[in-house]
Structure 1
């Protein structure tokens, strides 16, 4: 991987950053938190009109066909400005459709690229575990339909989405377990109940309950034997692009703090002159840059079609701890004002805190890394591309 962005990547990221800096002040973020829909329709329209939703979608479906790294760079800026936009929740299932979808499903991408179709995805259940083994919501085959029963928790932007990609456990007509799969569901389908959750981030999370919800067999994403691969891709896209947002948010919090300690004086000098503050600042930049490198490597490997599951877990487990540390340190460097809800830094702290619990916790991703290292027969060589062991149906 080339760790330096090329000229076009730099231009895309700078343009996205300049746009969001002008269009997304903290007041807009606070207004979105208080709204029922939890996002800015006006900002979404402007964002879509600039073509960023189609960056990594196929050209024949209205996209630009660029590598996934471009989406990662844009999401870094979305995270930096905490833009109240359903970019992550829409693009994650869109990328899965682009990789595994049928021709009929692929047609949806044209509307996604134009910003006309909002998507969501539903993976976690009551246990909160980030694992295909934890999927219990059933999808029983019944003639030409799949009947869904169960609940999904912490579903992002379900209330504003038209379609949701739901991770299910497929059951045959006889009730036999056929393994995990992903199914596209119209969010207005009969039998769906959506209950808003109040989270630390005050964003659009919901509990969604499915009571005998019928969807056509054609809404299943991927071939029958691809079920586990489809769900794995859905989970990895969700995790790695959340890292992009976390890194952007943590970098902004760090820059707020560094700028503050340059000018805040105590005992006749800027507090940034004190060694304790200097060490905190150094740890913060190491954490943010480390998150950036791990996250960008994982996205790059995915864009190249290389094994990346371990790299995704490395990035998310590192980001969970380090980005949280950066935001906490930023608050401490500001002193008491850093902990006041009305102070803008609180927005960044709450978002990063919430994101550490989504897309897999530190412990779950550590377990995946350990499994790849310790459950793989033969000599363990760090730095080698490792495939995670796969067990079970599909």
Structure 2
């Protein structure tokens, strides 16, 4: 697929591949076993300027494109969806939202240190009763002079237990539904803000999912992001970028699973020959390769549209939906080709299998993607 990339994009992809192979791949399984956010991975990425890849240089970033961000996600997910998710949450969701919707003072205060990797960001949207339907949000913000007073809780928040900066969404009036949702910055250490349950997850165990608790947290009015009642628009705009990142994760883990299956099938011998000589295995590999390539091309289209300034909501939903499904199928087939060895923790295939499921859930479930696509088709 490199033929579709510009020369700078090919160079960046190769640099990412080299970085991942030397700095992420050797640590990925150990980070997974520790079952806590791999902050070392974030620091490694900060050291080479990846934590603000798409942010302009004047705000501490590299000025990269969304195609660059997609390529980064693909390469990171070859080694670890957890690490790709840490980065996707930090940059693709929270940092992107702060940059695009924050004012100049907010950019200087929050975007610059986050882009440099000096601070880790989280994205506080999901609640136990408000996930796919965020209009049911119950976290509230009440104006009190020069402050907003925040009360409520968020759940399953990626990076939440280690984040320095949280882009938080709360409602200023529950009766308004989605029209009452407003965005704020909550900083670690603010009185009344605490970390609740840190989830014990099936997969992406090197990335945390935490409960965030808000008990009369007084947030300065200066920490409001965008206009009052416009938080829903901010959230949905950011989620398009987040879905491109998830599509990249799907392509990355599927690529890793395919590569592993090809290599294993060539060296594993049964009945006097490598199992790659059996037609049944060959057909599985063909189907896997087709899914990987199709997912890559769908995500590529969405990234190109995004960088051209075109609306890409339908296309990125298609890419996210297809790539998530492809990842699940390719990883399952790869594990089957590996047989009993694939089921053991000595190889990363079982980790790919556990990790891939999240792609069908976060940044909008597969069912939500179908609704988004259908709405666009029938408009």
TM-score, scaled to structure 1:
0.87
* Residue in 1 that maps onto 2:151: 149
Q: For 1:83 and 1:313, how far apart are their aligned partners in 2? A: 19
From 64, 67, 73, give the equivalent of 2:65: 67
Which ranges of 4 or more aligned residues in structure 1 deviate by more than 6 Å?
Answer: none
Q: For 2:9 and 2:372, how far apart are their aligned partners in 1? A: 31
Query: Is the Cα–Cα contact under 8 Å of residues 58 and 98 in structure 1 kept in the other structure?
Result: no
SS at match of 1:140: strand
Q: For 1:301 and 1:114, how far apart are their aligned partners in 2? A: 27
* Residue in 2 that maps onto 1:29: 28
Q: For 1:128 and 1:324, how far apart are their aligned partners in 2? A: 26
Relative distance call for 1:286 and 1:303 in structure 2 (3 A) is same
C-alpha deviation, 1:350, in angstroms: 1.5
SS at match of 1:159: coil
Relative distance call for 1:83 and 1:227 in structure 2 (3 A) is closer
- The question of 1:310 aligning with 2:314 is answered yes
Q: How many equivalent pairs are there?
A: 370
* Residue in 1 that maps onto 2:116: 114
Relative distance call for 1:371 and 1:133 in structure 2 (3 A) is farther
* Residue in 1 that maps onto 2:371: 367
* Residue in 2 that maps onto 1:125: 127
C-alpha deviation, 1:207, in angstroms: 1.8
- The question of 1:239 aligning with 2:240 is answered no
C-alpha deviation, 1:136, in angstroms: 3.2
C-alpha deviation, 1:313, in angstroms: 1.2
Relative distance call for 1:312 and 1:138 in structure 2 (3 A) is farther
Q: Mean Cα displacement is larger for which, 44-53 or 10-19? A: 44-53
Offset from partner CA, 1:47-102 (integer Å, 9 cap, x none): 22222223311122122323221111112111111175431121021111221111
Query: Is the Cα–Cα contact under 8 Å of residues 281 and 337 in structure 2 kept in the other structure?
Result: yes
Query: Is the Cα–Cα contact under 8 Å of residues 130 and 359 in structure 1 kept in the other structure?
Result: no
C-alpha deviation, 1:235, in angstroms: 2.0
* Residue in 2 that maps onto 1:230: 234
Q: For 2:338 and 2:235, how far apart are their aligned partners in 1? A: 42
What aligned pairs does 1:2-151 form with structure 2 within 5 A after superposition?
Answer: 4-26=4-26, 28-35=27-34, 37-41=36-40, 43-82=41-80, 85=83, 86-91=86-91, 92-107=93-108, 108-127=110-129, 129-151=131-153
Query: Is the Cα–Cα contact under 8 Å of residues 81 and 253 in structure 2 kept in the other structure?
Result: no
Offset from partner CA, 1:312-337 (integer Å, 9 cap, x none): 21111112211111111110011111
* Residue in 2 that maps onto 1:277: 281
* Residue in 2 that maps onto 1:333: 337
SS at match of 1:242: helix
Offset from partner CA, 1:13-70 (integer Å, 9 cap, x none): 11111111012235x22332344742142x4333222222233111221223232211
Q: Mean Cα displacement is larger for which, 340-349 or 5-14? A: 340-349
* Residue in 2 that maps onto 1:300: 304
Q: For 2:275 and 2:35, how far apart are their aligned partners in 1? A: 41
Q: For 1:40 and 1:256, how far apart are their aligned partners in 2? A: 27
Query: Is the Cα–Cα contact under 8 Å of residues 291 and 319 in structure 1 kept in the other structure?
Result: yes
Relative distance call for 1:116 and 1:132 in structure 2 (3 A) is same
* Residue in 2 that maps onto 1:391: none
Q: Mean Cα displacement is larger for which, 139-148 or 246-255? A: 139-148
Q: For 1:104 and 1:165, how far apart are their aligned partners in 2? A: 16
* Residue in 1 that maps onto 2:165: 163
Relative distance call for 1:265 and 1:176 in structure 2 (3 A) is closer
Q: For 2:272 and 2:158, how far apart are their aligned partners in 1? A: 48
C-alpha deviation, 1:143, in angstroms: 2.6
C-alpha deviation, 1:234, in angstroms: 2.4
**Which one has a larger percent helix, Structure 1 or Structure 2?**
2
C-alpha deviation, 1:294, in angstroms: 1.6
* Residue in 1 that maps onto 2:209: 205
C-alpha deviation, 1:225, in angstroms: 6.0
Query: Is the Cα–Cα contact under 8 Å of residues 53 and 114 in structure 1 kept in the other structure?
Result: yes
Q: For 2:254 and 2:152, how far apart are their aligned partners in 1? A: 35
